[in-house]
């Protein structure tokens, strides 16, 4: 199964209910999806719940998948929609108000302080800006795939991305100035 393309795995999973194909799609895309959802939601438990809901919804809708976009783009769009639904819920709003920044994913290339500053900077972005920068810069989606995932026009997505990068750069430069480092 590992040498099959996503498109072939989708056909096997959708038409034959092949559990191995489901498992392989999950194995390939779950880590990146969870990382994206963690950065969006800012809370590990929410990211786990969102990833599970995303895969359940995706596998349920697999027969409706059309290969106009990649499976990954389609999956991330479902994840983004799940996040928006969670965000609207009262539980999520309360958690955002009361949650302290305590856990951050470690990065081999960032110090813990820089990772915390980055998370704080991401938290200051609008949902659209945060989604655009995470999908483009962290996940590696093209501008077109990002716009498609977010269900916004390409020009709007580029505006969100440009604003996000500018705001994040300004935030990070400000944080470096406050801690005395150059």
42 and 94 assigned to the same domain: yes
CATH code, 52: 1.10.1740.10
For residue 44, the enclosing domain spans 1-99
Average pLDDT over residues 97-126: 60
Which residue, 82, 72, 75, 79, is CA-closest to 140? 72
Q: What is the DSSP string of 68-128?
A: TS-HHHHHHHHHHHHHHHHHHSHHHHHHHHH---------TTS-HHHHHHHHHHHHTS-HH
Going by pLDDT thresholds of 50, 70 and 90, the confidence category of residue 134 is confident
Would you say 65 and 139 are in contact if contact means Cβ atoms under 8 Å apart? no
Q: 86 and 63 in one domain?
A: yes
- Element (DSSP H or E) covering residue 46: helix 44-61
Helix axes 154-178, 143-150, angle to 10 degrees: 100
136 and 176 share one domain: yes
Give the model's pLDDT for residue 177: 61
pLDDT, one tens digit per residue, over 25-69 is 999 999 999 999 999 888 898 899 999 999 999 999 998 888 778
Q: Is pLDDT above 60 for 108?
A: no
pTM, two decimals, is 0.63
Query: Do 76 and 138 have their domain in common?
Result: no
- Give the model's pLDDT for residue 86: 81
Mean pLDDT for the stretch of residues 75-85: 92
Contact 91, 26 (CB under 8 A): no
Domain boundary among 50, 84, 99: 99
Where does a domain end: 99, 132, 161? Answer: 99
pLDDT digits (tens, 9 = 90+) for 154-176: 999 999 999 999 998 888 888 66
């Amino acid at each position: 199964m590992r040498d099959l393309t996503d498109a072939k795995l989708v056909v096997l999973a959708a038409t034959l209910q092949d559990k191995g194909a489901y498992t392989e799609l999950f194995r390939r895309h779950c880590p990146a999806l969870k990382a994206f959802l963690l950065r969006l939601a800012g809370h590990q438990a929410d990211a786990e719940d969102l990833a599970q809901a995303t895969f359940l919804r995706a596998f349920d809708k697999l027969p409706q998948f059309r290969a106009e976009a990649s499976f990954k783009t389609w999956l991330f769009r479902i994840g983004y929609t799940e996040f928006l639904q969670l965000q609207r819920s009262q539980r999520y709003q309360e958690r955002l108000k009361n949650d302290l920044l305590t856990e951050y994913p470690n990065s081999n290339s960032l110090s813990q302080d820089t990772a915390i500053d980055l998370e704080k900077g991401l938290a200051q972005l609008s949902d659209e800006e945060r989604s655009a920068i995470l999908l483009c810069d962290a996940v590696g989606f093209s501008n077109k795939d990002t716009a498609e995932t977010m269900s916004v026009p390409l020009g709007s997505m580029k505006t969100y991305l440009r604003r996000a990068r500018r705001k994040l750069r300004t935030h990070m430069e400000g944080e470096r100035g406050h801690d005395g480092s150059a």
